[in-house]
Amino acid sequence: MSTEPADQALTDDGPLRVGLIADAEGVELLAPAVSQAPLVVAAQSGPRPQPTLLPGAEWHDDERVMLAQSGIQAVLVATSARAAPGLSELAAERRLCVWRLPPVARSFAEAAEFTQRCRKQGWYCRVASWWEAVAEQVRWGLEYDEGVKPGYTEIRVAAVGPSVQSWRASLVDAPGGVLATDGYQMLEALVGARGLPESVSAVVANVRRRPGEVPRETEDVATALFRYEGGRSAAVHATWDVPPFAQSTAHHGPELTVVLRPDGVAVHSRAGELLDEDTLAPDDFLRGELERFVAAVRQPDLASPQGVTLERHMAVTALLQATYLSARTGQPESPLKFYEVQGWPEPQQ
């Protein structure tokens, strides 16, 4: 898709008029960032909105009508991994730039199809990337002193689980449970920093449930071991509804450890002493994403890196699919096998 608009001028300095296609969770997540970004939600499709979250948005019960008749300049998509690719394509076919939340798809095959269509049709579909928001700080930590050279990485994710009505609890709508949703950002950061492992061994389970609800279809406990070349490894442990709730990635080298959390990156000595740190602003992630999206819509040359972003999301999808496959087969599985099956070039490490 050319990023030149179909009907609206994008070179003015006023807020970008966007349409939002989102479920209730997506609206609640995006509302604070939308209120601070240089855009205005002029139209919304999905469950009938709460007026206090997005005041002034014209509601449509059919996203096709919204895309055709609301005079919007771009689209935000925040809904299930099953629905989001198709909705993004509907918007792109109307020459509207699209921003959406990850995961990019439920499977590697779906992710490859979506990426290929973006390439062939020239669509601009930005999938939000937490790694790109933290990459500079993580690289600073890994290059500290003479470099950390991680041989072992440990990821821990503990989050409040969703209701059984959420798409994140459905095997039809989601690629997985806690690991594929709340654990996604840390997995993307792992792939960004260390690339894909050679193999994955994993176990997933359903242990917790919310009061008065049946168990979720997707897992609330996931444990995985990732094996890299040269005996290097990474271990991941993700849970829903098992406090204390926190997220972290620790890269351990021969002498130093680099710890990534949503609020910063810290370098520790082998004995655990804090040597240096660089703070992050976790609440600014989505606002920053939307600001960059608006800039890319107004200046199409800024949209060029989207291919790199989509390739990294594909790699995370391959890692997730290998993890869940290993949990089913009880055997180590390789993320790279999915590239081979789809005839897709392997990612550059």
Q: How far is CA 285 from the centre of its chain?
A: 12
Distances from the Cα of 45 to the Cα of 35, 83, 96, 172, angstroms: 18, 13, 15, 21
Q: Are the CB atoms for 43 and 57 separated by under 8 Å? A: yes
Distance CA 168, CA 283 (A): 22
- φ, ψ at 134 (rounded to 5°): -115, -5
- The whole-number pLDDT of residue 1 equals 39
Longest dimension (CA), the chain: 62
Residue that the structure tokens 């055997």 belong to: 331
Residue 8 confidence class, pLDDT cut points 50, 70, 90 = very low
pLDDT tens-digit profile of 262-283? Answer: 999 999 999 999 999 999 887 7
Q: Indicate whether 122 pLDDT > 60.
A: yes
Q: Is the peptide bond before 38 cis (omega within 30 degrees of 0)?
A: no
- Residue 49 pLDDT class (50, 70, 90 cuts): low
139: burial class by Cβ within 10 Å (0-12, 13-18, 19+)?
middle
Percentage of the residues of the chain whose pLDDT score is greater than 90: 82
Over range 37-50, report the average pLDDT: 85
Name the residue with tokens 């790109």: 132
pLDDT of residue 284: 83
User: For residues 299 and 260, which has the higher predicted lDDT (pLDDT)?
Assistant: 260
- Mean pLDDT, to the nearest integer, of 163-167? 96
Structure token digits, residue 4: 């030149």
Q: Per DSSP, what are the bridge partners of residue 294?
A: none
pLDDT grade, residue 349 (50/70/90)? low
Note whether 241 and 160 are within 8 A (CB).
Answer: yes
Q: Which pLDDT score is estimated for 12?
A: 57
Reply yes or no: is the peptide bond before residue 211 cis, omega within 30 of 0.
no
**Domains with residue ranges and CATH for the chain:** 16-101 (3.40.50.720), 131-284+316-342 (3.30.360.10)
pTM, to two decimals: 0.93
